[in-house]
Amino acid sequence: MTQPNTRIRLFSGPLSMFGAKVQIAALEKGLDVELVMVPFEMSRLYEPKHPDVLRINPKQQVPVLIHGDLELFDSTQIFEYLEDLQPAPALWPADIRARARARLLEHQSDEVYFPSIIRLMGLQGKPQDPMAVTAREIASRYYLQMEAQLEGQAFLAGSYSYADIAFYMAQLFGERMGAVMTEATPHLMQWRAAMTRRPAVREVVGPMAAYLLSQGRPLPAFLSGLLPQS
């Protein structure tokens, strides 16, 4: 059985969108987490695989969480565990209907929005490829949906939640791949700026931005303020 004072170990990578989601959530909750960055290189990606990741996750991917004798994978499942482990501050809305909407929005970030971004990852040198054009159009339509979602409220599900964390990280990768936000979604742009100012977000995304620059990769303009000033 996991002891109350057992430290959480979170396995992630320098460009892991899903690992970053979990890390932000843990920081928002004030949890003491040991972050383990697994081997990663731009050319080889996650090779060689970390033995604990291989052992715990059949998909051989981060994030993986170990807390005593409990071993978990999948960012959403880890979200749920963190919420039960440390209920305050809550990162799901208290109202049952709002909570259901927040869970759906978190799921949509991964399963509705992000697949189009995955398609763009193989087409960065071919922006006019029909598949790339279609993927950007899908992302643009999704941005309009999230713009409507933010009407009259600061966060996607009313109160700050895992839905915001999930979509923030997904759109960060979308921006990197050419699916950019525009003035057509002013509320969404304001939401992103507010998210970027959150200390937990800055603590996680700042090193990610620095890593991208160290590898000679372009950095989305909205992340430039996270870099140390020379």
pLDDT tens per residue, range 74-98? 999 999 999 999 999 999 999 999 9
If asked whether residues 120 and 180 sit together in one domain, one would say yes
Q: Quick one: how far is CA 34 from the chain centroid?
A: 18
CA–CA gap between residue 170 and residue 164 (Å, rounded): 10
- Count how many domains the chain has: 2
pLDDT at 14: 93
If asked whether residues 101 and 71 sit together in one domain, one would say no
Considering 85, 116, 138, which residue would you say is the last residue of a domain?
A: 85
Mean pLDDT to the nearest integer, 150-179 = 97
184 in any annotated domain = yes
pLDDT at 187: 97
pLDDT at 1: 45
pLDDT tens per residue, range 180-201? 999 999 999 999 999 999 999 9
CATH number for the domain including 66?
A: 3.40.30.10
pTM: 0.94
148 in any annotated domain = yes
Look up tokens 């399963």; give the residue: 111
If asked whether residues 143 and 81 sit together in one domain, one would say no
In the β-sheet with 64-67, what is the strand arrangement from edge to edge? 33-37, 8-12, 64-67, 70-73
Domain that holds residue 77: 8-85
Considering 85, 114, 129, which residue would you say is the last residue of a domain?
A: 85
